[in-house]
Amino acid sequence: MKAHRIETTLTEDGTLVIKDLPFHAGEAVEIIILESHTHPPKANPYPLRGKQPYRYDDPFEPAVPLEDWEALQ
């Protein structure tokens, strides 16, 4: 069984034209059509690249002072 892969774009809804296949007239072929997911990503995959890092002077200190917690009063 020979396999041939080709990628193309539909020019109108529901119509696909494939030319110059490496098969001869009268040969039986099986056609499987898959949607391509190789389009370039639309969003930036690295949104933080080049940004300044956040700096935490004391990362284990609570953001809210302890005296402001109602549960501790």
Give the tens place of pLDDT for each residue, 6-24: 888 888 888 888 888 888 9
Q: Sign of the C-alpha dihedral, residues 31, 35, 40, 45? A: negative
2: pLDDT strictly greater than 90? no
Is 30 inside any structural domain?
yes
pLDDT score at 51: 92
CA distance 25 to 10: 24
Number of domains in the chain: 1
Q: Please indicate, yes or no, if residue 59 is contained in any of the structural domains.
A: no
**Residue 45 counted as domain residue:** no
For 67, the 3-state DSSP assignment is helix
Domain that holds residue 21: 1-35
pTM: 0.42
CA-closest candidate to residue 5, choices 38, 40, 32, 37: 32
